[in-house]
Amino acid sequence: SVSLSQLRAELTAMELRLVDRLNGALAQKADRIIQEQISERVNKNDARLTILEQRAVTQDSPILGEIEELRQANLALSEVGKYKRWLWAQTFALAGISIGIIAFLVDHMTLGG
């Protein structure tokens, strides 16, 4: 047989475990709610940042001028690069022609001389 004091002790222990579990569940729920609120704030801030970035790009601002200057500088550099490639191609073509002419002259001088 089980004594009344043992039953009371077990009941009290069960109540304490139940209260602990309930407190834990409430704490987890509160943590989840806080995490959701933080996530919502982060998303709102990201949306605001995107809007601000779009405004900065669409409005007349010094940044736009600098961006356009960089684009023009890059375009100029690419044109210089194209010109250099063309110049090297012309140089190689002239070198090829001059080697042929020099070879012809050497042959002509040795045969004629």
Q: Measured between alpha carbons, how far is 90 from 96 in angstroms, rounded to an integer?
A: 10
64: how many CB neighbours lie within 10 A of its CB?
13
Domain boundary (32, 59, 86) is at 59
Give the domain range for residue 7: 1-59
Cβ–Cβ under 8 Å, residues 52 and 61: no
Res 103: pLDDT = 84
Q: How many domains does the chain have?
A: 2
Please tell me whether residues 85 and 99 are part of one structural domain. yes
Please tell me whether residues 2 and 49 are part of one structural domain. yes
Domain boundary (17, 37, 59) is at 59
Res 76: pLDDT = 77
Domain boundary (59, 75, 103) is at 59
Res 7: pLDDT = 83
- Phi/psi at 111 (5° precision): -80, -35
Res 30: pLDDT = 79
Please tell me whether residues 49 and 76 are part of one structural domain. no
Q: Measured between alpha carbons, how far is 112 from 103 in angstroms, rounded to an integer?
A: 14
Please tell me whether residues 28 and 78 are part of one structural domain. no
Q: Measured between alpha carbons, how far is 57 from 51 in angstroms, rounded to an integer?
A: 10
pLDDT tens per residue, the chain (113 residues)? 678 888 888 888 888 888 888 888 888 887 888 778 877 887 787 787 777 777 766 666 677 677 677 778 777 777 777 788 888 888 888 888 888 888 888 888 877 65
